[in-house]
Amino acid sequence: MKLPSFIQIYNELIAIPTISSVTNDKIDCPNKELIDKLANWFAELGFKISLVSVPNTRNKYNLLATYSNDSNHTKGGLLLSGHTDTVPFDEGLWSKNPFKVTEVDNKWYGLGTADMKGFFAFILDALRDIDLKTLNKPLHILATADEEITMAGAAYFAQNTQLQPDCTIIGEPTSLIPIRAHKGFTANVIRVIGKSGHSSDPEKGINAIEVMHLVIGKLLELKQTLKEQYHNNSFAVPYPTMNLGMIKGGDAANRICGCCELLLDIRVLPEIDANSLYDLVCNTLKPIMDRYPNRIQVENEVDPIGGYECQKEEPALKEVEKLLNQTAETVNYSTEAPFLNQIAPTIVLGPGSIEQAHQPDEFVSMDYLKPTKIAIESLIKRFCL
């Protein structure tokens, strides 16, 4: 089987719905069709293929494709990684077909063109012009599941792999600027269980909105404490941030509110353990919990995602900066880097802009086509030859 053209590969990847949704299983899609397609293409190029079912997902898979001319294929070389899923889309806000690559004004539109199924098309296209038999270090391609919701695919891979590459590249849309660090985050649901009743006699009830008012006051104190205690000038926003993202409670003006919920987002610097934030929030709210026993619940909406940092002095990072003639930067959004950085120095680098990610009419500018292919070829030759 001969590989299809670059645009056909791109189109076939975009045409397969691979939406991830943690809240709506009706729109959550399996990724097996896309994984099988990638497996066939990489197998055609001589890669050895491993497909692994990822636990705690709705029957989704990781793909690892490896090309090695050495019997010891676990050490050294390069790992190119991307996720196979996309976010949901609002059909009413898209002016193009999200499952077809549409070219308009030097842009390729489609769901996943930038974030980030298109990265696999760039890899395959670059490999056409490389004689893989000349590689003296292994080249690995990783395609993961569920990055957009739980990052279960990357987490499972990092926990179980024996690979020790010299460098990992995650092809998220960074405008081809290398990214060496990003913040971690946690999302908490805080629920106040009050006691409902008629508003004419407030003392007979416990108003959940009023208790939540006390909760918010304590959280804002924590927000200020985090800002004062932690600082990292590598980031544009150099301190941890807290966002009160959603609140809901009550059902009538003449009824004491019986339940109030708050969604909370905390973004932390890489040096802060994201897993510690749950206890930090609970300890902050302890005085109110003691005042209202068994009426305040704190839950993780999703498992915390740690921050990540590839040190400036890391040789692999310096090589990537030299190859691209670009100084690495930091960002506030999250990727799979905290997991893959456990096994190798990891840099986030890919075509397209993060400004188009998760947006209606997502696109990748065609200006990235040639430089991305050159960048991938250069990375493979540097780390695998």
Cα–Cα distance measured from residue 351 to residue 116, given in angstroms and rounded to the nearest whole number? 9
Give the pLDDT of residue 24. 86
pLDDT recorded at residue 91: 87
Q: Which residues are catalytic?
A: 85, 147
Q: State the pairing for strand pair 107-109/255-256.
A: unpaired
Tokens linked to 109:
């539109």
- Residue-wise pLDDT for 141-150, tens only, equals 999 999 999 9
- pLDDT for position 203: 93
The pLDDT value given to residue 71: 79
Residues with Cβ within 8 Å of 252's Cβ and at least 6 positions away in sequence, in order, are none
* pLDDT tens digits, 190-207: 999 999 999 999 999 999
What is the value of pTM for the model shown? 0.91
- Residue 1: the pLDDT is 60
pLDDT of residue 70: 85
Structure tokens at 362: 């997502």
Closest C-alpha to 42, from 64, 65, 10, 8:
65
Exposed/middle/buried for residue 102 (C-beta within 10 Å: 0-12, 13-18, 19+): middle
**Residue 251: burial class (beta carbons within 10 Å; 0-12, 13-18, 19+):** exposed
- Residue 14, both tokens: 């975009």
Contact 296, 261 (CB under 8 A): no
DSSP state of 232: -
CA distances from 291 to 152, 201, 207, 342, 374 (A): 38, 21, 14, 42, 62
User: Quick one: pLDDT at residue 359?
Assistant: 94
Q: Which domains does the chain have, with CATH numbers?
A: 6-182+308-384 (3.40.630.10), 184-300 (3.30.70.360)
Handedness of CA 280, 307, 340, 146 (dihedral sign): positive
- The mean pLDDT value of the chain amounts to 96
Q: Are 305 and 184 in contact (CB under 8 A)?
A: yes
> For the chain, which residues score pLDDT lower than 50?
none
What pLDDT, on a 0 to 100 scale, did the predictor assign at position 215? 98
The C-alpha angle 113, 157, 77, rounded to 5 degrees, equals 80
CA–CA dist 385, 377 (Å, integer): 11
* DSSP string covering 135-165: -SS-EEEEEES-TTTT-HHHHHHHHH---B-
